[in-house]
Structure 1
């Protein structure tokens, strides 16, 4: 059992693990150091939004913070509005409020259980893991703990490799969309905005900025030019032959075979979403079955198709996006960005190609990068992660999916897994694939708490 534990990361993953540890009645009191960084503990970047435009992409009944109480968020939401249905997609702002309340409850419970919890509102600058403990440094303070957990969430996005320094220096190319969204109330409405990416981040930006700038035209660019799929109005029934599909996929762990099996299963089911959702509990084991060659093949050729099917929009959000397209305010483009350069008249020029051939350049007053979750530790500007990689304390996943780790969360270095350094959430994407959504985070947090407190 580790008595002194450091948790690095102030978002939902860190808050869930902290709450799991505090909720246990241990023979000896725990000393927990929670390094939250700036912002409200528990909310993180994902749920810091106060906009009612931004909805959860998971139904209310599935968003509970704890594995032993998966309906907790629905119960919380119904306290103020009993008419809320289990299938509703609720505002992320409300979910952030729920996380805050549960975190505050856990901190109050810590005193009753005799635990000593320090909430440290600073980022960790460096860590030195050893076989008998971990040294944690922030500023001039160095603390020795028995074990440490990296629950960092998504890493800061890195500029698209095609963006010139002049474009970055112009202030018209936005690398981090969420801080920009928070301050964009003071930005004069541009005539045209280009969005790089067509995932759920782009959808959130469209909903907010189209309402804020009613005369602005939006052009969203991606390799395939396709939006995420849409959730059904109701939850579909599990496919009758789901076990047959799963067995066939395990018997032949190749991307080509899997895509063939999935297309066939979806074509025979009344609702293709049921096929995709039926696989979700098994995705980590399926991912583990793939060789490195097959993982690379999946990421190159099938990732976009899978992500559009797996990560879907609520129906009401899809309807609003369709209205923007119908009204001519949103245009989707298929292409690859080859260069983004500062141009005349306070515009940026985007040079693109399609099927290997150049297409007409696009000009926009503002370009926002919305390429989604960044988990590449090899080139990240995140100070702590960069230090850990540089010093060989963690090893990058070869595909840029976090760091190499064991399925139980132990982070690896050159000689194998550390016994006292763990990861939770986004950094485990290369190990588990499904590691960033709340249904998985709460289960992993419970299992990690069990391991940390095992005799």
Structure 2
């Protein structure tokens, strides 16, 4: 087993791995350095919100941190409110409380078992992986570990192409919506806010701003102008295990054939959601079948449709979005952002209309970029990831989906695989695709903990 392990990252994936490691009966004592990067350990960006308007997009019964303890989160929530059901969509704030509690319990177990765990509230400046271990550098300190794990989550968002320096310097173009939401206060001033992107992040931003800024109006722009689909009010299960569909997809690995098969399966299902959900356990193996050209085709032409139906919002959130539209405060618009400039103290946007129908312009008091997760290792501003990519310690995924790695999470470089250097979570999207939600992350954490303890 690896006796000395470093975990780099302060969010849910890091917390899940740490807790899995400390939950086992290890044959020897462990030394674990957890570099949380500041902030509240375990919550990360995903669960750092304190707003009860921001709900989990997965039902409570499916959100345990531990694969072996499926009721973990539900039991935690019901201790505070016995009326909560497993089918409820609960606040992400509550899930952050659960993660913190689980980490505190894991650290207490570690002390009792004689493990040495250091929670280090700063970022790692550099990593030097070698065939017999990894050197961790932060400030003036160097330490040698047997294995290191990147659990960084999504990379910092980057401004879209076409956004001028003047717009960025004005502070009126927001690239990081979560940092922005953490700082805003109630304000009755009228203003026009434009959102670029219409996924789940946009929905969270709209919910919060609509409540805190009652006289603001909103324009939300995306390629197709569509909100995410909602979950059903009641949980549903597939009528079968989907094995026939999965077998047919394995026999014809291509985006066109897969979407044809999906449409046929949906036509014979009582609800299309059960078909989509039946694919979830098989997504990594299906993704592995696609050659690079088919993956690229999916990202260009089908990703938007898949994201809408796969990453759904709670039904009560859909009700809130509909009310916002019906009140006239929210308008959705189709288009692609071409440019953002500063003109007379306002932001001036140029959009390309769909189907080659020219351009249109609009002004805004504030623009918020809500385009989803950034996983582009080559273009990131993240200091540690830049160091790793520059020194060719990691190989970027060709389509900008994190790092090249094995399905087990071992990071690759120059056509080879590091024996002691791993990743978990979002940086594995290129190899697994489905690698950002807690049900998948907890499985990764469980298997990775097994490998680390086996050595």
Q: How many Å separate the matches in 1 of 2:103 and 2:170?
A: 40
The question of whether the paired residues in 2 share the 8 Å contact of 1:395 and 1:414 is answered with yes
For residue 240 of structure 1, report the CA deviation from its aligned partner. 3.0
Q: Which residue of 2 aligns with 1:394?
A: 394
1:92 equivalent to 2:92? Answer yes
Q: How many Å separate the matches in 1 of 2:409 and 2:71?
A: 25
The question of whether the paired residues in 2 share the 8 Å contact of 1:402 and 1:430 is answered with yes
Q: How many Å separate the matches in 1 of 2:222 and 2:378?
A: 24
Q: Deviations over 1:28-74 (max 9, x none)?
A: 10000000011111101110100010000000000000010121000
Which runs of 4 or more aligned residues in structure 1 lie more than 4 Å from their structure 2 counterparts after TM superposition? none
Q: TM-score, normalised by structure 2?
A: 0.98
1:312 equivalent to 2:312? Answer yes
The question of whether the paired residues in 1 share the 8 Å contact of 2:188 and 2:214 is answered with no
The question of whether the paired residues in 2 share the 8 Å contact of 1:190 and 1:365 is answered with no
Q: How many Å separate the matches in 1 of 2:187 and 2:160?
A: 23
- C-alpha change, 1:18 and 1:115, in structure 2 (3 Å) is same
Partner-residue secondary structure (3-state), 2:309: helix
The question of whether the paired residues in 1 share the 8 Å contact of 2:52 and 2:91 is answered with yes
Q: Deviations over 1:290-324 (max 9, x none)?
A: 00010000000000000000000100000000000
Question: What pairs with 1:223-262 in structure 2 (closer than 5 Å)?
Answer: 223-240=223-240, 242-262=242-262
Partner-residue secondary structure (3-state), 2:148: strand
Partner-residue secondary structure (3-state), 1:302: helix
Query: Unaligned stretches of 5+ in structure 2?
Result: none
For residue 27 of structure 1, report the CA deviation from its aligned partner. 1.6
Question: What pairs with 1:32-431 in structure 2 (closer than 5 Å)?
Answer: 32-185=32-185, 189-240=189-240, 242-344=242-344, 346-354=345-353, 355-431=355-431
Q: TM-score, normalised by structure 1?
A: 0.98
Q: How many Å separate the matches in 2 of 1:285 and 1:114?
A: 39
Partner-residue secondary structure (3-state), 2:358: strand
Partner-residue secondary structure (3-state), 1:419: strand
Q: Deviations over 1:256-300 (max 9, x none)?
A: 000111111112211100000011000000000100010000000
The question of whether the paired residues in 1 share the 8 Å contact of 2:187 and 2:214 is answered with no
Q: How many Å separate the matches in 2 of 1:240 and 1:35?
A: 44
For residue 186 of structure 1, report the CA deviation from its aligned partner. 7.1
For residue 187 of structure 1, report the CA deviation from its aligned partner. 6.8
CA RMSD of superposed structures (Å): 1.0
The question of whether the paired residues in 2 share the 8 Å contact of 1:410 and 1:417 is answered with yes
The question of whether the paired residues in 1 share the 8 Å contact of 2:126 and 2:388 is answered with yes
Q: How many Å separate the matches in 1 of 2:173 and 2:189?
A: 15
Q: How many Å separate the matches in 2 of 1:417 and 1:318?
A: 44
